[in-house]
Structure 1
Amino acid sequence: MHKFIVLPHKIIESRKAGTMLPVFHDIMSGDEHVCAELFGPVTLKQASDFARDPHSTWFETDGDVRPLKGKPNHSSKPHIIHVNRSHISMNKRDRTTIPVFTVKSPGMKARYGHRIEIDGPVLLIHSATPLSCGARAWIETFTPPKIHDEKTFGEARSETIHG
């Protein structure tokens, strides 16, 4: 079993230093990766108690983990999954449970969930060039992810207003 957390302080250090530092930390082995390919299934999870758990979001797999030097080439566009830091902050501040995982699939609007399952290989990416939303670390997969408790942007944000 591999259980990974993203190290936000390393993303910030990386950005300041203008270099790529390992940001994916395997809690079980202690290994850290800049980019890695995971062979699933992979599950992304979100803890229910944001205020007490410093690692409130993580992903785990029983499959192989292979460090990568660069991204593999694929002809189609991947599904992109990342952690929404502003939702984590709002949850901690307001004691809400807004879903923190954002899933961007080709040709679809962004969707949100508390737990994501991916039954195929995934690629963990940390890049000095952020996505359009500002994410500097994310997951790419060509296997459609299963989103538990799926919400649209409006539904996710309405939880902020209504609690």
Structure 2
Amino acid sequence: MRTREASFLLGISRQRLLVLLAQGRVKGADKKGRFWEIPVNQSGMPVIIPARRGPKGIWHKQETKVPQMIHVNQHNIRDNIGKPPEELEPVVSVKHNERNDYGYDLYISGPCHIVYRPYNPAKCGAHVWINTYDPVQFVDTQFNLDPATARQAYKQIKR
């Protein structure tokens, strides 16, 4: 596995992973020329050797089993053409553990992965979606036309 995939699985930045690699704290990692080769354990995760001093690491010990799926519903976008604002259907859906949430504007607080599968679509029929293991929060679920109010809601989420 390369550093980009390993940092995504561990939930840390690529730069932090490079520091851990330089310190020799990634078990079995080997540098081949300019690139690192990182082995994984049985659960598919790289193994980080704990340090003796300092704060405890915040990397994921195990990968979350099911990511949240963020999907833009094209049929709702088509159906919304020509409708007044109070009749617009939500176009963004978040699917997680058999639960669907709908809205117009959302914030992803961590890394995400964009997936395109033309020959193996999702259960809902989507060919393109975003997967993330980090929290997702809707900024707007009522189609807010006032950009100043939407900006305030976004700032509240960031805090």
Structure 2 length-normalised TM: 0.45
Bigger RCO (CA 8 Å, 6+ sep): 1
Greater share of residues in strand: 1
Which structure: larger Rg?
A: 2
